[in-house]
Structures are given as structure tokens and as C-alpha cells.
């Protein structure tokens, strides 16, 4: 890329003047000025190009600036840029059809939102009205969004400053064998004990008070923990027995990320509600939504649904979704993600784990992987403490800096790095990324004991 440091400095100064950033102490951040992006790469104004192993915030599932989607957005802008949600608009109906045809089971009605958190808020509202019950159960080690209910459902430290105690949320432990909350020896035991724990939690809370259980099908930001065989089917069975609405949050795992259209397909489960966003249109225009089962939709057949958004089903966002889903079909992006996981990323990351003492576990599928970094492989002590900052987080900061120096932008969360590139990244690009990770992991290795 062409270097223009003066332009970069101006972009950064303008940002620092008026942009208030998410999740950040405003004076302590130093955002990189981005000059452009294409496919799996982006570049800055200093002539540095980065292989993006984060897909933004795990949303550019078909990479940056896909020409087909860019053209579709331009065409829609010229035709009908916007229209209010109460009307029938061709491109909105088409997006809903394409999504409903891909979601599992009878999830055939689509309520559109602007993103994932709003999808979660509305799924919870639907579940509460459908059951007439107040509480929602969600997992520790989860992320569901930044709005009131969604952040209270979240099971990580981002919830703490917003914890209201009024959201009607109860947390439980989901299975995670590597750091088993149940002292289980294998996946079968972890699964059985996790289901027992969930059912006991429902019993103590009072089944008639529980509207919904919400789970990320494969938890994303919290560490990409693929649930053991039988767990989600077991949760489905518990929900059926107690009349609880089962919500799967596929905001991150959906739309090809795991090598299936939706991660639920890996486990042969059908939730009552499924939330999506991000990959639905590769994040080109803000869009999310809830896919709704026939039974829940029926609750609002003659009774009004008391929720809405000015931009629900925005034509520009829906045009981007229609085009993105078309690209994913035409270019076999979902199949490619599965292939990449099975033949390049999975084997490549396991090979790194075998050589680097800092890699405690490799987890994932498709284009959705996590390396759990440890100080000691035997004790599994995390490379940095839970929720560490400043000096305590220095080993992870050094690892991230080494990745960037090598030309790779890493996804780093606590003691983990996630490998979540565009789902249509080439094998050569994936291997280039693995080689950079290899070098950066030697920096992490220096902090092992
Ligand atoms: N749910 C999951 C599983 C997510 O990963 C996210 C975002 O990362 C959200 C919900 C919130 O989505 P948004 O940031 O679009 O509101």
C-alpha cells in the first residue's frame, strides 16, 4: 500500500477530537488509522498491510469490499435507499426468505434489527410474552451484546459495570471441559453434569418463573467452546419439559463461520428463537434479527408484538444481505470454511500447539478457532489472569504486538487468541497467517514456566 503518514496523522487527530470509542478509557487508546481494506487484508497510512485474523469483530465473513455486495448496495441506494418498516418492500421480503430458508426447522419468520444486541433484546421480549414468565437463564463465559438485557445476560466482566440486578437474569455454567466447572474427566461426564446443573438451577429458581434459556450455540468471544455431543439436545429436552423457550444466539457463529450456515446444524437442534447479525451481510450495513418458530410467531398472530425499530429491515442492509447470501452460495463460502477448518486451520493450529509450550488447547471448527494460552500446560494456568489489565496483561500484549509486527492483526481476549479470518480466505492466506502466529507464539512461550 501507498504510504501517506501525514494523511494518517490527520485521520487520527480527527478521531481523537470527537469520536468516543466503545469499551475504552478515551485517553488511553491509540486507534490505528485505516486507509483501506480488501478481502482478508486491510492497510494503514504508513505502508503496513495486515492480514485480518479478526474479521473486524468477527463479521466480515466474505472479507472486505466484495465487489458483488458493494454493487448491490449501490444499486439499492439508487433504487430505494430507505423505507419505513410497516410497508412491504421487495428486498426486505427477499432477505427474509433467504434467511428463513437457511435457518433450521420451523424458524420461518424474521424480525429484523440493526444488530445483535437488539436481536437478543427482542428474542427475550418474545420469550417473556410467549410464556408469561419473567426470568432468563444464560451462561457464564458468554457475550450477548451491549444493551440492557443483552449485557445483563452476558457472562463476562463487560457485564459488571452495567449489572442492574433488575434484568431478571440467572447465570449458570455451561460445559467447558478444558477448564471444567464440574471436575469432569471427559466430554460425556462434562455433558451429563452440565445438564444436571442446569436442571437443578431451574428447579431452585422455580420452573414456572423461567421464560427462556439463551446460549451461544458455540460461545464466541468467551473462548470458542464447542459443546460436547448431546449437550444442546439435552438443553432442548429440558426446555420442552418445562415449557421454556430455547434461544440460540448465532450472532457470531451463524452464516458460515463454523462451516455450516448455522452452528445449530452441527448438533441437530432446533431452537424456538435464533438471533443473528454480523455475517448475515458481512457487516457491510448494520443488520441483525430474530428467526422465530411457528409457535412463538403464533403468539403474536392476533395480539400485537410490542416492539419495533425505525430501521427494522432497512432496504440497504437487506440488499447487502441478499447479495451476501448469494455470494456465499455462488462461491461455496460455507463449504470452504468447513474445508479450511478441517484441512488447514485445525491441523495447522494443532501443529503449532505441539511445538509451543504456551498453547494449552486448540478449539474450534470451520473459520472459528481459539488458542487457549497458558503459563504452564500441566496446571493450565492462563498466560494472564482473568480480566487482567496493565502489567498483568503484558504477556498477551507482547504476543499481540509480535503478531502485528509480522503483518497479522490478531483477535485477543484475556489469555486467548482467536483465529477468525474471513470464511473465504485462501489456503495460502491462512498458511501465511499461521506462519506469523508461529513466530509470535515464541514471544508467548517466553512467559511460560
Ligand atoms: N451475541 C453474540 C454471540 C455476539 O458475539 C455479539 C457481538 O459480538 C452480540 C450478540 C452483540 O451484537 P452487536 O454488537 O451487533 O449488538
ipTM of the complex: 0.99
Q: Which of 330, 362, 385 is the last residue of a domain?
A: 330
DSSP percent split of the chain into helix, strand, coil, nearest 5: 45, 15, 40
If asked whether residues 281 and 344 sit together in one domain, one would say no
Q: Please tell me the predicted confidence (pLDDT) of residue 225.
A: 98
Q: What percentage of the chain carries pLDDT values higher than 90?
A: 98
pLDDT band of residue 209 (cuts 50, 70, 90) is: very high
In this prediction, residues 324-338 reach a mean pLDDT of 98
Cβ(293)–Cβ(258) under 8 Å? no
If asked whether residues 176 and 92 sit together in one domain, one would say yes
Query: Rounded to an integer, what distance in angstroms lies between the CA atom of residue 119 and that of residue 249?
Result: 9
Output the residue whose Cα is nearest ligand 1's atom 5: 252
If asked whether residues 26 and 127 sit together in one domain, one would say no
Q: Please tell me the predicted confidence (pLDDT) of residue 2.
A: 83
Query: Rounded to an integer, what distance in angstroms lies between the CA atom of residue 371 and that of residue 358?
Result: 9
Q: Which atom of ligand 1 is nearest to the CA of 142?
A: 3
Query: Rounded to an integer, what distance in angstroms lies between the CA atom of residue 351 and that of residue 119?
Result: 38
Q: pLDDT digits over 20-49, tens only?
A: 999 999 999 999 999 999 999 999 999 999
Q: Which atom of ligand 1 is nearest to the CA of 120?
A: 10
CA atoms within a 13 Å half-sphere pointing along the CA-CB vector of 310: 1
Give residue 5 CA to ligand 1 midpoint distance, Å: 34
Return mean pLDDT, the chain: 97
Question: Is 90 exceeded by the pLDDT of residue 311?
Answer: yes
Q: Which of 330, 350, 365 is the last residue of a domain?
A: 330
Give residue 59 CA to ligand 1 midpoint distance, Å: 10
pLDDT band of residue 254 (cuts 50, 70, 90) is: very high
Q: Which of 57, 121, 143 to mutate to test the pocket of ligand 1 (most atoms within 8 A of CB)?
A: 143
If asked whether residues 42 and 31 sit together in one domain, one would say yes
CA 99 to chain centre: 18
E strands in 18-115: 34-38, 41-44, 49-52, 109-113
If asked whether residues 414 and 379 sit together in one domain, one would say yes
Cβ(45)–Cβ(8) under 8 Å? yes
3-class SS of residue 44: strand
Question: Is 80 exceeded by the pLDDT of residue 1?
Answer: no
Q: How many domains does the chain have?
A: 2
Q: Which of 300, 330, 360 is the last residue of a domain?
A: 330
Q: What 8-state DSSP symbol labels residue 170?
A: E
Q: What's the CATH code of the domain at 229? A: 3.40.640.10
pLDDT band of residue 164 (cuts 50, 70, 90) is: confident
Question: Is 80 exceeded by the pLDDT of residue 393?
Answer: yes
If asked whether residues 361 and 299 sit together in one domain, one would say no
If asked whether residues 316 and 336 sit together in one domain, one would say no
Q: Which of 252, 281, 418 to mutate to test the pocket of ligand 1 (most atoms within 8 A of CB)?
A: 252
C-alpha cell at 25: 478509557
Cβ(424)–Cβ(333) under 8 Å? yes
Query: Rounded to an integer, what distance in angstroms lies between the CA atom of residue 217 and that of residue 250?
Result: 6
Site residues for ligand 1, CB cut-off 6 Å: 57, 115-117, 120, 143-145, 216, 220-221, 249, 251-252, 277, 288
Give residue 114 CA to ligand 1 midpoint distance, Å: 11
Range of the domain at 109: 67-330
pTM, two decimal places: 0.98
Query: Rounded to an integer, what distance in angstroms lies between the CA atom of residue 39 and that of residue 60?
Result: 9
Amino acid at each position: 500500500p501507498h504510504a501517506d503518514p501525514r494523511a494518517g496523522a490527520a485521520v487520527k487527530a480527527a478521531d481523537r477530537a470527537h469520536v468516543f470509542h466503545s469499551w475504552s478509557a478515551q485517553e488511553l487508546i491509540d486507534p490505528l488509522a485505516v486507509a483501506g481494506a480488501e478481502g482478508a487484508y486491510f492497510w494503514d497510512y504508513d505502508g503496513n498491510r495486515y492480514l485480518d485474523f479478526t474479521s473486524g469483530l468477527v463479521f466480515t465473513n466474505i472479507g472486505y469490499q466484495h465487489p458483488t455486495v458493494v454493487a448491490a448496495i449501490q444499486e439499492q441506494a439508487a433504487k430505494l435507499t430507505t423505507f419505513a418498516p410497516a410497508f412491504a418492500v421487495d428486498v426486505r421480503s427477499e432477505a427474509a426468505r433467504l434467511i428463513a430458508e437457511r435457518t433450521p426447522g420451523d424458524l420461518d419468520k424474521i424480525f429484523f434489527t440493526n444488530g445483535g444486541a437488539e436481536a437478543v433484546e427482542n428474542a427475550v421480549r418474545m420469550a417473556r410474552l410467549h410464556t408469561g414468565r419473567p426470568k432468563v437463564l444464560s451462561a457464564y463465559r458468554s457475550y450477548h451484546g451491549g444493551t440492557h438485557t443483552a449485557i445483563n445476560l452476558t457472562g463476562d466482566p463487560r457485564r459488571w459495570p452495567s449489572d442492574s440486578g433488575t434484568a431478571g437474569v440467572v447465570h449458570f455454567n455451561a460445559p467447558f471441559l478444558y477448564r471444567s466447572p464440574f471436575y469432569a474427566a471427559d466430554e460425556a461426564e462434562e455433558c451429563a453434569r452440565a445438564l444436571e446443573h442446569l436442571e437443578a438451577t431451574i428447579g431452585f429458581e422455580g420452573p414456572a418463573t423461567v421464560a427462556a434459556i439463551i446460549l451461544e450455540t458455540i460461545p464466541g468471544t468467551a473462548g470458542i467452546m464447542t459443546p460436547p455431543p448431546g449437550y444442546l439436545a439435552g438443553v432442548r429436552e429440558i426446555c420442552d419439559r418445562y415449557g421454556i423457550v430455547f434461544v440460540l444466539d448465532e450472532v457470531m457463529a451463524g452464516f458460515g463461520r463454523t462451516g455450516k450456515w448455522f452452528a445449530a446444524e452441527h448438533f441437530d437442534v432446533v431452537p424456538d428463537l435464533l438471533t443473528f447479525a454480523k455475517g448475515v451481510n458481512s457487516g457491510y450495513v448494520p443488520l441483525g434479527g430474530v428467526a422465530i418458530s411457528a409457535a412463538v410467531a403464533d403468539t403474536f398472530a392476533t395480539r400485537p408484538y410490542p416492539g419495533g425499530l425505525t430501521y427494522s429491515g432497512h432496504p440497504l442492509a437487506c440488499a447487502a444481505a441478499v447479495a451476501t447470501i448469494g455470494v456465499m452460495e455462488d462461491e461455496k463460502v460455507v463449504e470452504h470454511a468447513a474445508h479450511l477448518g478441517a484441512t488447514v486451520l485445525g491441523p495447522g493450529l494443532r501443529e503449532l500447539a505441539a511445538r509451543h509450550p504456551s498453547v494449552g488447547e486448540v478449539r474450534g471448527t470451520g473459520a472459528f478457532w481459539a488458542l487457549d494460552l497458558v503459563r504452564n500446560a500441566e496446571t493450565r494456568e492462563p498466560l494472564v489472569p482473568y480480566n487482567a489489565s496493565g502489567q498483568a496483561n503484558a504477556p498477551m500484549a507482547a504476543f499481540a504486538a509480535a503478531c502485528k509486527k509480522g503483518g497479522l492483526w490478531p483477535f485477543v481476549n484475556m489469555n486467548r487468541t482467536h483465529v477468525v479470518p474471513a470464511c473465504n480466505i485462501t489456503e495460502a492466506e491462512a498458511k501465511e497467517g499461521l506462519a506469523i502466529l508461529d513466530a509470535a507464539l515464541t514471544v508467548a512461550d517466553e512467559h511460560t514456566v
